């Protein structure tokens, strides 16, 4: 476990050696503002909460988070540095988790930079700041789940563009699995428990609850288990594909 912070530090620093990180943060901030104020009708709703802000995060992350995740492993494989990394005395767990945590910390930083939202809403009214904090936690967990999926897809593909497309597709499946159009496809023939299971996989229902300030232990567990499972899958995929 001693090497985890070392890997984390290197990975996080690598985001800031290129302008990409700054471009990403700017795009994220601009888009979250546009979504909140124009599409979310933040002012017109006349309510002192950040619901219009959080409501668009699942869709915003759908494209932005895979863009952070796509380079995690694809880049290592393409440049051959994976051979360097995997022959250093580090465990698979340290390598996979170190990289993931760095990406997650980076996403967290981008999210924290939306703090003017909190100031705005506090200036305009008297919001429930507890609910806002849970909203942020939920949003960060959601980003983590997307990142874990992206990490696995990045391990799967040597090409970053393919990793990006794969990650967007899988994340999209996890969003729409709670939608009627998907559930209808199951309702004709599948038993009820299958339909319930598919519906319970959806990011949206879980995230909606947390972003409204309701923290249910099951929702937290859902996100954390999902992250752990996709990271474990990442480790397996790396072992299978590293030599290609």
Partner 1 sequence: MIEISKLTKRFAQHTVVDDLSFRVERGEVLGFLGPNGAGKSTTMKMLTGFLAPTSGTASILGFDIQKDRLKAQRQIGYLPEGAPCYGDMTVRSFLEFITEVRGFRGAEKRQRVAKAVAQVELENVLEQSIETLSKGFKRRVGLAQAIVHDPRVLILDEPTDGLDPNQKHQVRKLIQSLSYDKIVIISTHILEEVSAVCTRAVVIAHGKLLADGTPLELESRSRYHQAVTLVAEEPLDVVALAALPGVIGVEENEREHSLSVLAKPGQVIFPQVNALIAQRGWRVKELNVERGRLDEVFRSLTRGEMV
Residue list 222-241, contact with partner 1 (CB under 8 A):
239
Q: Is 88 in the site for partner 1 (CB under 8 A)?
A: yes
Q: Is 79 in the site for partner 1 (CB under 8 A)?
A: yes
Q: Is 210 in the site for partner 1 (CB under 8 A)?
A: no
Which structure tokens are listed for 105? 């910390």
| Shortest reach from residue 13's CB to partner 1, in Å | 8
Q: Is 243 in the site for partner 1 (CB under 8 A)?
A: yes
Q: Is 221 in the site for partner 1 (CB under 8 A)?
A: no
* Nearer residue to partner 1 within complex by CB, 158 or 242: 242
How many Å from the N-terminal Cα to the C-terminal Cα in the chain?
A: 28
| Shortest reach from residue 83's CB to partner 1, in Å | 4
* Nearer residue to partner 1 within complex by CB, 84 or 221: 84
- Alpha-carbon distance of 59 to 55, in angstroms, equals 8
* Nearer residue to partner 1 within complex by CB, 95 or 141: 95
Q: Which residues contact 105 (CB under 8 A, 6 or more apart)?
A: 8, 12
Half-sphere exposure of 41 (CA within 13 A, CB side): 4
| Shortest reach from residue 4's CB to partner 1, in Å | 10
Contact with partner 1 (CB under 8 A): which of 21, 27, 29, 90? 90
CA–centroid distance for 202 within its chain: 14
Contact with partner 1 (CB under 8 A): which of 34, 39, 84, 112? 84
Residues near partner 1 (CB under 8 A): 2-3, 6-7, 10, 13-14, 17-18, 79-81, 83-84, 86-91, 239, 242-243
């Amino acid at each position: 476990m001693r090497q985890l912070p070392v890997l984390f530090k290197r990975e996080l620093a690598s985001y800031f050696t290129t302008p990409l990180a700054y471009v990403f943060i700017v795009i994220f901030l601009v888009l979250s503002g546009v979504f909140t104020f124009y599409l979310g009708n933040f002012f017109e709703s006349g309510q002192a909460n950040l619901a219009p802000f959080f409501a668009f995060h699942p869709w915003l992350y759908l494209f932005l988070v895979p863009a952070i995740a796509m380079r995690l492993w694809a880049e290592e494989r393409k440049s051959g540095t994976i051979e360097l990394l995997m022959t250093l005395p580090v465990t698979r767990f340290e390598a996979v988790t170190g990289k993931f945590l760095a990406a997650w910390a980076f996403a967290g930083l981008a999210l924290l930079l939306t703090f003017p939202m909190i100031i705005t809403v506090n200036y305009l009214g008297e919001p429930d700041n507890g609910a806002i904090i849970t909203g942020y936690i939920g949003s960060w967990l959601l980003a983590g789940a997307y990142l874990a999926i992206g990490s696995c897809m990045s391990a799967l593909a040597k090409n970053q563009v393919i990793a990006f497309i794969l990650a967007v597709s899988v994340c999209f499946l996890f969003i729409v699995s709670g939608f009627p159009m998907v559930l209808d496809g199951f309702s004709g023939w599948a038993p009820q428990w299958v339909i319930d299971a598919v519906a319970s996989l959806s990011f949206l229902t879980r995230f909606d609850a947390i972003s409204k300030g309701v923290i249910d232990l099951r929702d937290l567990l859902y996100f954390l288990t999902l992250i752990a499972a996709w990271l474990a899958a990442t480790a397996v995929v790396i072992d299978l594909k590293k030599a290609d």
